[in-house]
Structure 1
């Protein structure tokens, strides 16, 4: 089972690193694999969690609450993403991405989706893009 999770994280990281430059993972918890692989691919990576995240090499981490985010810390992100967030977090993630004017990608647990599921992206796993930046540099 662990190898399946690593395959999932690998697919997510490959898609993100091929399409973005400055990313923030929300809810990193104890699984930093996507963030680490994105950093190793040359991206600027930041990550937050409601609990103090573990120090992760090459990834800027901090405790933050997506329901009341410290907006200046997210400045410059072209992507906010979450891996297996609780579906109740998705509205706050959408609000954050819209405020930052960046994309939002979510990898849901199982068949869980929010509303219509947003734009579906097949990259070896199914990602859901709930926000797309109005402009990309």
Structure 2
């Protein structure tokens, strides 16, 4: 379990140094990346399909990525997900394109979507960038 927390901290540190307004999709019971980003002042909010998820110091709202409330993501410069189901990725890409922000995904194991997007190395962790903001 300790190894996974190191992964989430690495993701959080990478995002915190490169983005100003991030939204995590599917936070579930793993707030470590979000906590690092929030500590740097770069986290707008977290979402999850399940209601009632709470993490002290974090704003968590209920939302369905397959029918997202666009207002929750507008103004974000990044949407990210840590170990989402691969079936969520097309909806994440569509949402990032709609609000014009980057999309980073950390996959579970060797799981990827399509061609895997652009590979982004953040220390020992490999992220997949499936959408880049258009300036």
Q: Secondary structure at the match of 1:51?
A: coil
User: Which runs of 4 or more aligned residues in structure 1 lie more than 3 Å from their structure 2 counterparts after TM superposition?
Assistant: none
Deviations 1:58-80 (A, max 9, x none): 32211100000011121110000
d(CA) in 2 for partners of 1:130 and 1:15?
Answer: 16
User: Which runs of 5 or more structure 1 residues have no equivalent in the other structure?
Assistant: none
Contact 1:28 1:53 in 2 (8 A): no
CA shift for structure 1 position 56: 2.2
Cα contact 2:118–2:129 (8 A) shared by 1: yes
1:120 aligns with 2:133: no
| 1:103-130 deviation digits (Å, cap 9, x = unpaired) | 0000000011001000001112000000
Q: Which residue of 2 aligns with 1:13?
A: 12
Structure 2: unaligned runs, 5 residues or longer: none
Normalised to the residue count of structure 1, the TM-score between the two structures is 0.94
SS of residue in 2 equivalent to 1:47: strand
Note if contact 1:22-1:44 (Cα within 8 Å) is conserved in structure 2.
Answer: yes
CA RMSD of aligned residues (A): 1.0
In the other structure, the counterpart of 1:68 is 67
Q: In the aligned structure 2, how far is the partner of 1:45 from the partner of 1:34?
A: 13
Aligned pairs, number: 134
